[in-house]
Amino acid sequence: MPSVPQFERLNGGRPILRKIDDHPWENKVVFNPASVLVEDRATLERVINELPFDVETRRKLSRHKALCFLFYRAQGRETPVYDHRRSSIGLAVLTPTLELLARHDKPIILPDQAYEDLGAEDARIGRVGDQFIMFYTAYASGQVKNRMRIAVAISTDLVHWEKRGLLKGRFNEIDNKNAMLFPTRVGGKLLMLHRPMEGENASSIHWAEGEDVLGEWKTRGMLIQRRPNPKFEDTWIGGGAPPLLLPDGRYLLVYHIGNKTQGKGREYDFAIAVADPKNPEFIVRRDEPLLRPETEAETIGDSDLGVNDVVFVCGAHFYQSDLYIPYAGADSVVLGGKIRKEELERYLGAS
């Protein structure tokens, strides 16, 4: 079986998005970016008209035939007025090939509800009809322990988001995260991935089905089991980018692998898989790893937070048949990567 497709680091391996010292909510770290590529002209015009930028910036954006909207997790420092260590979600606009064009100076999502009072984290965005669906991790304080559950927000323009609370389903009664939608219904059902942190087969990728995003979700159990790695003390996995629909009806999955090294160290990698809804096994191929942290931006994070050796993905898109992946480096910056069409065809042709 051929090797994983070659991954190319963009911008010479340097960040495409960094913290901004003058913005209290993001003057520490920016990471874990969700992404949405918009190519449809009518939708693009609707989104651009709602963007919180000046007229000239919106005019420049309107000249592009496609845009990538990035929803990244941000943390700042604690101030006497507000604790910006609590994660919020920012908005940036990039070209489809991940060059920065514009960036909002305020958060697009703040942790302003009781179920997320410690942070709104790690968004993933899908689409159902004319609505954009954001699943994100709601981090909340608890009497016995802090809680991590899956929350949902809905938008028609990628700018104004209506929070609709926590997802309904027994899987959201325990700590859970890494939730994302499949881009199409399968067997008439909406499908989602999630990663329970408690219970049977915890710390593996599970899936669930539902009739409506805001209705009751029913878990199907584990979809992808974690694989022990003899190089590490412990290994776990979770969803990364929302599954991508392939021309032949299969799906491409890019997910993450967490590894615990000796002592308190950790390493997060990418992995890749192929799902076929016509195959009883559903997952017909998986390969680990696709990418490991190697560059300075991937291996050395913010000195105060002390997170190193991490590559982490929450979104990806196809553009001109190449795969573009914005991703986090060491929980501190946003980086860009690419897999060329030829590499994908080679990999998928053997799956």
pLDDT per residue over 68-126, tens digit each?
999 999 999 999 999 999 999 999 999 999 999 999 999 999 999 999 999 999 999 99
Task: Return d(Cα 234, Cα 91) in angstroms, integer.
Answer: 34
Predicted local confidence at residue 2, as pLDDT: 64
> How confident is the prediction for the chain on average, in pLDDT?
96
Answer whether 166's CB lies under 8 Å from 256's CB: no
- Please indicate, yes or no, if residue 5 is contained in any of the structural domains: no
pLDDT in tens, 115-163: 999 999 999 999 999 999 999 999 999 878 999 999 999 999 999 999 9
Determine the structural domain holding residue 93 and report its residue range: 17-349
Predicted local confidence at residue 109, as pLDDT: 98
pLDDT of residue 247 exceeding 80, the answer is yes
* Token representation of residue 77: 């420092």
- Please indicate, yes or no, if residue 221 is contained in any of the structural domains: yes
Element (H, E) at 106: none
CATH number at residue 90: 2.115.10.20
- Please indicate, yes or no, if residue 11 is contained in any of the structural domains: no
- Please indicate, yes or no, if residue 3 is contained in any of the structural domains: no
Task: Return d(Cα 343, Cα 320) in angstroms, integer.
Answer: 14
- Please indicate, yes or no, if residue 164 is contained in any of the structural domains: yes
Residues 55, 56, 57, 58, CA torsion sign: positive
Indicate the pTM of the whole model.
0.97
Predicted local confidence at residue 350, as pLDDT: 74
- Please indicate, yes or no, if residue 12 is contained in any of the structural domains: no
Task: Return d(Cα 1, Cα 21) in angstroms, integer.
Answer: 48
Q: Which residue has the tokens 């190193």?
A: 308
Task: Give the DSSP letter string of 184-223.
Answer: S-BTTBEEEEEEESSSTTTTSEEEEEESSTTSB-EEEEEE
The tally of domains found in the chain comes to 1
Residues 103, 178, 210, 37, CA torsion sign: positive
In the sheet with 67-75, reading across from the earlier edge strand, the strands are: 29-38, 67-75, 88-94, 100-103
- Please indicate, yes or no, if residue 331 is contained in any of the structural domains: yes
Helix (H, G, I), strand (E, B) or coil at 245: strand
- Please indicate, yes or no, if residue 2 is contained in any of the structural domains: no
Task: Return d(Cα 166, Cα 151) in angstroms, integer.
Answer: 4
